[in-house]
Amino acid sequence: MYRVNEDYLKLPGSYLFSTIGKKSRAFKEAHPEADVISLGIGDVTQPLVPAIIKALHEAVDDMSRAETFHGYSPDLGYSWLRETIAKNDYADRGCSISPDEIFISDGAKCDSGNIQELFAADSRIAVCDPVYPVYVDSNVMAGRTGSYDPETGCWSDVIYMPCTEENGFVADLPKERPDLIYLCFPNNPTGVAIKKDQLQKWVDYALENGCVIIYDAAYEAYISEEDVPHSIYECAGAKECAIEIRSFSKNAGFTGVRLGYTVVPKALKCGGASLRDMWARRHGTKYNGAPYMIQRAGEACYTEEGRASIRGLVDYYMENAATIYDGLKGMGYTVYGGVNSPYIWLKTTGGMTSWEFFDYLLKNAGVVGTPGSGFGPNGEGFFRLTAFGTHENTQAALKRIAAL
Ligand SMILES: Cc1ncc(COP(=O)(O)O)c(C=O)c1O
């Protein structure tokens, strides 16, 4: 009899968002008249901007003519897109990243889940707590996390770095030395950003201790403050110790279009092994590239018109963030995030657990959010609301919460 990868069987229960979905559906069935507003899942609601739609249409037309038809894309992605990214996202910010250090993909989720393949099976990983679940779960599947303790919600071989009110939700350096450090800023779920001098400490630590930082910058477009780095490569030495992952989902609304990229610098070497060459090898073997049309749509994000419209989208969501943040604060809630991020992280009231608060809000206000404990033990007692709704829904949700 064949055997399955038993590491998959170690994964606990159902995924956070399926539990939220089940609870919301059950509530709607029991209360068909209720108009439930979801500020739970981090999915966008606004349509693609005209510059992107135009690029998509043109690229579809390209595919209809023999002279402009495109088959498989190059392993790393089209050079015109990688060059555009290298200039706009890096050179213009004072970081020198060459196009052949950029790998185009179909999104940050796949890259952040797959990148662990480059590292030894016995590598120790360190994650923030609370954390975007993909980093831990992908390492569970790879057999790297030991055993799960349902009491604590922790894996025996993972180094957890608490993000609490006390440390401003920016983890302290770990007490034990990890091999891989996952960092995500601006953060999902806490919505908190990291200052450049704080991030430099992580880079220095990684260089001194022989670690690699996997830096997830999926929410980079939401940064509004001056001293917050847009890329980890703004820190000295980061090219020797960090991989950066980016997404077009949250800035350009590509959650259903699918496009992202990962930067693996050539300077990132482990002995004689080049991580960049290893990732290139992986791309060549296991991935056949984001579609031509979608890469053209990605390119359109960097035109003058594309940039201006995307800025408009981000501003739209950030208005919601301000509505939620200011509204809740005015009601006496303790709130974090929402300034450099589309996520608002609030403290539950009345000593409620995160799931109790979820039920309370759903039952009494018809508003769905995400329980903080679903992101890790240190998320207990917190709750995440997203700014990705429409203005109308966001304002209506706040009115209902105010009336509680
Ligand atoms: C921190 C973080 N990284 C990555 C992703 C996934 O991005 P993508 O849509 O590009 O796969 C998300 C989505 O919610 C996220 O919150």
- The model's pLDDT over 175-225, given as tens digits with 9 standing for 90+, comes to 999 999 999 999 999 999 999 999 999 999 999 999 999 999 999 999 999
CA distances from 168 to 130, 201, 216, 231, 236 (A): 13, 16, 19, 20, 24
Residue nearest to atom 7 of ligand 1 (CA): 108
Is the CB–ligand 1 distance for residue 138 below 6 Å?
A: no
- Cα gap 314→332, rounded to integer Å: 27
Looking only at the bridges linking them, the beta strands covering 158-162 and 125-129 are: parallel
Round to whole Å and give the CA distance between 262 and 260. Answer: 7
Q: Which domains does the chain have, with CATH numbers?
A: 14-43+305-402 (3.90.1150.10), 52-302 (3.40.640.10)
Q: What is the pLDDT of residue 41?
A: 84
Report the residue count for the chain. 404
Give the distance, in angstroms, between the CA of residue 27 and the centroid of all CA atoms in the same chain: 29
Give the distance, in angstroms, between the CA of residue 362 and the centroid of all CA atoms in the same chain. Answer: 25
How far out from the chain centre does Cα 48 lie?
20
**What is the maximum span of the chain, computed from C-alpha positions, in angstroms?**
66
Q: And the tokens for 49?
A: 């901007």
Please give the distance, rounded to the nearest whole angstrom, from the Cα atom of residue 49 to the centre of ligand 1.
20
- Of residues 60, 109, 99, the one with CA closest to residue 76: 99
The pLDDT of residue 13:
75
Nearest atom, ligand 1, residue 250 CA: 9
* Ligand 1 in reach of 40 Cβ (< 6 A): no
Q: CA-CA distances (angstroms) from residue 298 to 226, 291, 310?
A: 26, 11, 11
Structure tokens at 356: 């109790």
In angstroms, what is the C-alpha Rg of the chain?
Answer: 21
345 Ramachandran zone, left/alpha/beta (phi>0; psi -120 to 50): beta
Ligand 1: which atom is nearest the Cα of residue 43?
A: 14
Say if ligand 1 is within 6 A of residue 116 CB: no
Q: How far is the CA of 218 from the centre of ligand 1 (A)?
A: 6
How far, in Å, is the centroid of ligand 1 from the Cα of 69?
31
Distance of CA 116 to the CA centre of its chain: 16
Give me the residues of the chain with pLDDT under 70, please: 14
Let me know: does 53 contact 302? Beta carbons within 8 Å: no
Tokens 């950066």 locate to 244
Cβ 105 vs Cβ 79: under 8 Å? no
Give the amino acid at 40: G
Please indicate whether residue 112, judged by its CB atom, sits closer than 6 Å to ligand 1.
Answer: yes
SS3 content of the chain, % helix, strand, coil (to 5): 45, 15, 40
Task: Give 402's Cβ-side CA count (13 Å radius).
Answer: 15
For residue 21, what are the contacts with CB-CB under 8 A and spacing of at least 6? none
- SS3 assignment, position 273: strand
Q: Which two tokens mark 34? A: 């209720």
Q: What does the block give as tokens for 228? A: 């917050």
Element (H, E) at 347: strand 343-347
pTM above 0.85, yes or no: yes
Q: CB of 222 closer than 6 A to ligand 1? A: no
